[in-house]
Amino acid sequence: MSPAQRAGFLGLACVEIVLTTKTWVDLARRPKSGIRGPKAMWFLVSFIQPVGPVTYLSLGRK
């Protein structure tokens, strides 16, 4: 892997980690009434990388 590829990979990995962490913290703190659908479903969806966290953050919250 070239240095440029490595840097790009690490950058995307960092973004993925931040989005997933933000999703989990939001799920833990937000009341059920502020979420579309069950929390457990969104927690499982958050493992589908990279679209799971983005989907929750854009569509899962009321």
In the structure, what pLDDT confidence band is assigned to residue 47 with cuts at 50, 70 and 90? very high
What pLDDT sits at residue 48? 96
Q: In degrees to the nearest 10, what's the CA dihedral of 18, 23, 29, 33?
A: 160
In the structure, what pLDDT confidence band is assigned to residue 41 with cuts at 50, 70 and 90? very high
Segments making up each domain of the chain, as ranges: 3-60
Between the alpha carbon of residue 3 and those of residues 11, 12, 35, 37, the distances in Å are: 12, 14, 41, 42
14 with 24: CB under 8 angstroms?
no
| DSSP class of 32 | G
Read off the pLDDT of each residue in 50-62 and give the average, rounded to a whole number. 96
In the structure, what pLDDT confidence band is assigned to residue 57 with cuts at 50, 70 and 90? very high
Backbone angles phi, psi at 52, to 5 degrees: -60, -55
In the structure, what pLDDT confidence band is assigned to residue 4 with cuts at 50, 70 and 90? very high
